[in-house]
Amino acid sequence: MEEISSNFIHDFIDSEIEAGLNKGVHTRFPPEPNGYLHIGSAKAIWINYTTAKKYGGLFNLRYDDTNPSKEDTEYVDSIYEDLLWLGAEPNGGVYYGSDYFDKCYEYAVKLIKDGKAYVCDLSADEMREYRGTLTEPGKDSPYRNRSVEENLDLFERMKNGEFSDGAKTLRAKIDMSSPNMNMRDPAIYRILHASHHRQGDKWCIYPLYDFAHPIQDAIERITYSLCSLEFENHRVLYDWVINNIGFEKKPVQREFARLNVSYTVMSKRYLRKLVETGLVDGWDDPRMPTICGLRRKGYTPESIFEFIRRTGVSKANSLVATEQLEACLRDELNVTAERRIAILKPLKVTVTNYPEGRKEYFEMTNNPSDPESGTRKVTFSREIYVDRDDFMEDPVPKFFRLKPGGEVRLMSAYIVRCDEIIKDEDGNVTELRCTADLDTGNGSPADGRKVKGTIHWLSADDAEKCTVKLYDKLFTIENTADIPEGKTYDDYLNPESVITLSDCMVEKCAAEAGAGERFQFVRTGYFCKDSKYDKTFNRIVTLRDGSGLKH
């Protein structure tokens, strides 16, 4: 088994095992199916999955489907697909929180009978008012001292649908003066007349997360409930539920810092808005931080998990540069991606001294980092394409590409000299006429002259039209948590987050590749064949890291 580095969570588990408090490790990933998973979710998956793997334990997928108004089977299916794609197979099983609703109800009745829960008629606003502040204790609800019999009757009538949404809640009876606001008689059940994606109309009351989650963990015999740092102050409530229901096998909650990535939003509510308003091309838009968006863009599971591994596991919140994620993929693709030629801004070149109808083939290396990838033969003919950016009619100093009267090496082929420029009636350059030194196909000029520039090219006989999409950051602000007052995410959407180039040219062998295949387009970047649109390539990442927004 691969070595998994230790972190403070593993140190804690080691201490528990050494003290005889636990013999095995059983973790879980509990997503709410109200949206698609994103790069932040991948960190929670990685931590829980690799922790179980390190100790030879079990890892569960459990859907936290306790809020029917926002959940959908579309999200359920996508979560499972993403988990398997990442390689984090839930060897402990797949579960649904909603399948425990009967047990949650049973345990809520137990708390009522034990005098530890009561039905409250306060509205949400009134509950907030009674709750107090960080410096002032809360006030007891006027319904806090209802009898056990009255609470049991009201709770059953809540279950039977006699009351409207929000009319009543079931609250844990703990301590309204607790310095931890989460312990001030938190609501544990609410009324919600909504059809559930799995349970249908069986229920009109639903347990809240802080009550349902520890119960689910305990039923599944989870040993370590590993969650993000915002649940740290909820831990005491988690333990209260476990202890007062009376579970013998008690899971332990520990928290880690969330993954915050620059130029990225992790709010599923806002990501859903982008999808629903058509500002992006669905949840799998390659600009989205979703797992399916990263997959469609061309990221690999290995690069995503490597990124999370490099960022580490800590309890200190931080902002990780998106360039670090790009670097992980760039490191991988430099070794694994085969090279292909693509001309993003084609400019026709006629090699005037090359015979019409003649073809020959030059060998090009598929991947210099992988000798076993071999070579391929690339067609050369009288008509070729070069990139328009590789030509300047009025060249700047030290411009070593095509220019009037200048010579350049066509990569792995001949040296050519630009003799004539053809323009349309508007003065736009439409074609170059060049002469090839036909003695330089396999080496340097016989007279020893030096040619400094080398450019990529593509024969008209070996070129297929395609569309290329150059993706960049979705937002222009580095830390989306620092948006000034009065501004919203919308104010920082990058208007150039995608640039679409039509009528590009690519090698036929790349054009015929399957969806999801990744290539390095030489001198251009790493690209992936799109899974949604035919003859379209998505830029995954540029060849080199840089700063700022770039194309």
3-state secondary structure 465-513: EEEEEEECCCECCCCHHHCCCCCCHHHHECCCCEEEEEEEEEEHHHHCC
Residue 258 annotated as catalytic: yes
For residues 221 and 249, is the Cβ–Cβ distance under 8 A? yes
Query: Can you tell me the distance from the alpha carbon of 84 to that of 421, in angstroms, rounded to the nearest whole number?
Result: 55
- Structure-token pair, residue 85: 């794609």
- Catalytic-labelled residue, pool 53, 268, 473, 518: 268
Nearest to 172 by CA among 136, 119, 209: 119
End-to-end CA distance of the chain: 41
Nearest to 109 by CA among 220, 215, 250, 233: 215
Q: Computed from CA positions of residues 111, 115, 116, 120, in that sequence, does the dihedral angle turn out positive or negative?
A: positive
Residue 544 annotated as catalytic: no
Residue 529 annotated as catalytic: no
How deeply is 110 buried, as exposed, middle or buried, from its count of CB atoms within 10 A (0-12, 13-18, 19+)?
Answer: middle
Please state which CATH number belongs to domain 342-455: 2.40.240.10
Nearest to 108 by CA among 244, 252, 250, 201: 244
Query: Can you tell me the distance from the alpha carbon of 22 to that of 116, in angstroms, rounded to the nearest whole number?
Result: 29
Count of helix runs (H) and strand runs (E) in the chain: 13, 27
Residue range 8-256 forms a domain whose CATH class is: alpha beta
Query: Can you tell me the distance from the alpha carbon of 37 to that of 82, in angstroms, rounded to the nearest whole number?
Result: 7
The predicted pLDDT at position 442 comes to 73
- Catalytic-labelled residue, pool 54, 110, 144, 258: 258
**SS3 of residue 372 by DSSP:** helix
- Sketch the domain layout of the chain as residue ranges: 8-256, 261-338+466-541, 342-455
How deeply is 234 buried, as exposed, middle or buried, from its count of CB atoms within 10 A (0-12, 13-18, 19+)?
Answer: buried
308: Cα separation from own chain's centroid:
11
The predicted pLDDT at position 545 comes to 64
Pairing mode, strands 260-261 and 463-471: unpaired
For residue 288, what are the β-bridge partners?
none
The predicted pLDDT at position 544 comes to 83
Q: Is 1.10.10.10 the CATH classification of the domain at 261-338+466-541?
A: no
Mean pLDDT per 10-residue interval, the chain, length 551 residues: 81 93 93 96 97 97 93 94 98 97 98 98 96 96 98 98 97 97 98 94 96 98 96 97 94 96 94 95 97 98 97 92 96 96 98 96 94 94 97 94 95 96 95 95 81 95 96 95 93 96 96 96 97 96 62 29
- Catalytic-labelled residue, pool 16, 32, 81, 323: 32
The predicted pLDDT at position 2 comes to 60
